[in-house]
Structure 1
Amino acid sequence: MEEKEVVIKNNRVNHGRNIRRTRENKGIGQTELAELVHLSQPTVSRYEMTRSIDKDMLLRFAQALKVPVEYLETLEEDAQTIVFQNNTITNTDNGTVASGAAVIEDLTQSPVINPIDKMVELYERLLKEEKDKVAALEKRVSELEKKYEGK
């Protein structure tokens, strides 16, 4: 692995974590990525733990992951949500665009998942399951009472 000193202007950018995050979001394993960039899996693992990576190597990873190299170079560690649309990357926190190659669709039309709604949905599903269990137990108790009343 080449060790070139790369100066990152923004100390919240970590190239290796950006590669790993992008790879995981796309459902690609390290072995598969290693094949795409013609490196060994342990070498890819070391790159994913490296804070700053030279531009040529970032370009190889960006091409393999099908994202603009600027994305891997500039994505900050605390970025919340990234939307890939038409090879354009938008950080939905502040609307910054890493590559202006295509028109960004209106993000307000994207489905928004409210965590509270998900919690309510889960609670209601669990509550229904509990009610079904209670009803089944009450039915079984009733059957057993009828069975033993006759004796």
Structure 2
Amino acid sequence: MSTATKPKHIGRNISRIRELRGMKQEALAMAIGFSQQTISNIEGSETIDEEKLNIIADALGVSADAIKNYNDETLLNIINNTFNSNDNSTMNAINIQPTFNPLDKIVELYERLVQAEKDKVEYLERLMKGK
């Protein structure tokens, strides 16, 4: 069955939007005066009556149409198209453009490790001479 002819699962859409809002079933239930079990049943239902849908939509801060037409793919497109990183070292959190030469940092780290080993050997030699 293609996604174009597949009926929307309203309960699943409610669940996704609730989760995106960082809201638990209990919190949604308290906000609209239902039990947590009722919310669980609604989220498991493929359809829901308009009155309940409007109440839930208000509690979630979205429109009933937003719940009916919710789509993960559309949401991801919106996020990808509106993502803005204020960090100059990243471009969309993927393309890293360091302002330094990574090899210089590796050499610097290696030199510090060698110096630490030399200091440790010197310290141990002094301890051995002190005995």
**TM-score if structure 1 supplies the norm length?**
0.57
Describe how 1:94-105 pairs up with structure 2 within 5 A. Answer: none
CA distance in 2, matches of 1:138, 1:12: 66
CA distance in 2, matches of 1:18, 1:26: 12
After superposition, give the CA deviation of every residue in 1:48-103 in whole Å (9 maximum; x if it has no partner): 1222222111111101111111011122354333xxxxxxxxx739xxxxxxxxxx
Is contact 1:34–1:41 with CA below 8 Å preserved after alignment?
yes
After superposition, give the CA deviation of every residue in 1:2-46 in whole Å (9 maximum; x if it has no partner): xxxxxxx95252211211111111121111100112111121122
Q: How large is the Cα RMSD of the aligned pairs?
A: 3.5
Matching of residue 145 in structure 1 with residue 121 in structure 2: yes
Distance 1:134 1:56, change over 3 A: farther
Name structure 1 gaps, 5 residues minimum: 1-8, 82-90, 94-106, 122-126
Partner of residue 78, structure 2: 92
Is contact 1:19–1:72 with CA below 8 Å preserved after alignment?
yes
Tell which deviates more after alignment, 61-70 or 51-60.
Answer: 51-60
Distance 1:10 1:72, change over 3 A: farther
Tell which deviates more after alignment, 131-140 or 53-62.
Answer: 131-140
Identity of aligned residues (%): 27
CA distance in 1, matches of 2:53, 2:28: 13
Is contact 1:12–1:76 with CA below 8 Å preserved after alignment?
no
**TM-score if structure 2 supplies the norm length?**
0.64
